[in-house]
């Protein structure tokens, strides 16, 4: 289901702060649907994270925006100009910079020449100035004459970013740029990249399968599944108010257990839970909980039984079996060490907003919050 209705338009769109606009875009590869009827608006200067599992269509979406693939249906605009759908603007004329997963640096060229490669039609003086400015922006001014194999993974990543920024693109597309870095370096580099792009004032679309990365990098996050956007929102909204069970499970850790509405509450295996929505008595729902939502304490008549315990240093992660056979995960402080097979009572910690889904609900596209 599309987020917005389709509108007829010519080769330009109305002037807004929207920088990248996709309207009812689809892309098929034979019988495989990569992107289906997708509509998206990214604001000027926004850092937009596109999150989803492998094969969900997010890289295809990036290639469509860049002009490396052509949509089968729908339109794509950058600024006020239609670049695909009704007319076609080639990649080199779209004002788009791309940083690929493998960086795509030329191994036989120096850092200087790698960055200069995309600067066409410049005088020698202008070319040298742009390369110097790009290297300064990524704090690599002293390595211009080195070759890619002489650089660390983090340095290669920043060179790829400098090359993407050197032509002064309107939009920067990042295709899982940190996936080849080790965990510690990835954490540091992503903060550096976010700062560099903010200083550059770029409109950024960043794709990843890592939910922590998406929440950290994006002003807004779009969660993609099977070629469609299931939800778009600010990171906090995506995490705390997931629109679908898929979003709940993909963005963070989530467990579900059943309940039934009774007099503006929900009766469940872990007790009576508050209900904000107006639902008729007898409605069957699934309650979403995250591990930090639930507190457990040993109790002879408790409803749950500890079936697993994993030590994480600062805390224990318990898996508790409910009477129905369903299991939920509970995060407890490291001084709360309980043996396996301990019977426990459970309560929902104060301050957590419970999310309910209609029993049997799986997925729905088109949930979006206000980008402002």
| pLDDT tens by residue, 114-133 | 999 878 778 889 999 999 99
Neighbour tally for 300: CB within 10 Å:
6
Per-residue pLDDT, 354: 86
Pairing relationship of beta strands 271-274 and 265-268 according to DSSP bridges: antiparallel
Domain extents in the chain:
18-249, 255-289+291-351
Per-residue pLDDT, 276: 78
Please state, in angstroms and rounded to a whole number, the distance separating the CA atoms of residues 265 and 100. Answer: 49
For residue 320, the SS3 value is strand
Question: Does the structural domain 255-289+291-351 have CATH classification 2.40.50.140?
Answer: yes
With a CB cutoff of 8 Å and minimum separation 6, the contacts of 136 are none
**Could you tell me the fold of the domain covering 18-249?**
Rossmann fold (3.40.50)
User: Which residues of the chain carry a pLDDT beneath 70?
Assistant: 1-16, 360-372
Q: What are the beta bridge partners of residue 60? A: none
Per-residue pLDDT, 15: 44
The b/e string for 254-280 (b: 16+ C-beta within 10 A; e otherwise) is bbbbbbebeeeebebbbeebebeeebe
Per-residue pLDDT, 56: 96
What is the enclosing helix (H) or strand (E) of 326? Answer: none
Place of tokens 């340095």: 155
Helices 124-137 and 153-165, axial angle in degrees (round to 10): 130
Please state, in angstroms and rounded to a whole number, the distance separating the CA atoms of residues 324 and 68. Answer: 51
């Amino acid at each position: 289901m599309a987020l917005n209705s389709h509108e007829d338009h010519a080769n330009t769109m109305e002037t807004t702060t929207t920088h990248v606009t996709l309207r009812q875009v689809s892309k098929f590869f034979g019988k495989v649907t990569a992107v289906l009827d997708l509509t998206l608006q990214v604001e000027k200067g926004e850092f937009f994270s596109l999150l989803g599992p492998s094969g969900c269509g997010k890289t295809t979406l990036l290639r469509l925006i860049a002009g490396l693939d052509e949509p089968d249906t729908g339109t794509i605009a950058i600024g006020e100009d239609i670049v695909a759908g009704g007319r076609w603007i080639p990649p080199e004329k779209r004002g788009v910079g791309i940083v690929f997963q493998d960086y795509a640096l030329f191994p036989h060229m120096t850092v200087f020449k790698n960055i200069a490669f995309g600067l066409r039609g410049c005088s020698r003086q202008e070319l040298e100035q742009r390369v110097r400015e790009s290297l300064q922006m990524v704090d690599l001014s002293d390595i211009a004459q080195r070759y890619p194999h002489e650089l660390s993974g983090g340095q290669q990543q920043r060179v790829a970013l400098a090359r993407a920024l050197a032509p002064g693109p309107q939009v920067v597309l990042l295709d899982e740029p940190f996936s080849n870095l080790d965990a510690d370096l990835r954490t540091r580099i992503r903060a550096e990249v976010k700062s560099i792009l903010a200083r550059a004032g770029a409109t950024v679309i960043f794709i990843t399968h890592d939910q922590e990365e998406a929440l950290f990098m994006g002003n807004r996050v779009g969660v993609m599944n099977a070629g469609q956007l299931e939800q778009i929102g600010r990171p906090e909204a995506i995490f705390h108010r997931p629109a679908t069970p898929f979003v709940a499970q993909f963005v963070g850790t989530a467990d579900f257990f059943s309940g039934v509405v009774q007099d503006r509450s929900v009766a469940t295996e872990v007790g009576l839970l508050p209900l904000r929505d107006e639902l008729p008595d007898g409605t069957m729902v699934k309650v979403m909980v995250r591990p930090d939502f639930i507190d457990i304490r040993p109790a002879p008549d408790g409803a749950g039984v500890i079936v697993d315990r994993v030590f994480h240093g600062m805390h224990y992660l318990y898996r508790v079996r409910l009477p129905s056979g369903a299991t939920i995960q509970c995060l407890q402080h490291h001084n709360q060490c309980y043996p396996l097979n301990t019977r426990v009572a459970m309560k929902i910690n104060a301050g957590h907003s419970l999310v309910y889904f209609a029993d049997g609900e799986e997925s729905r596209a088109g949930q979006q919050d206000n980008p402002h």
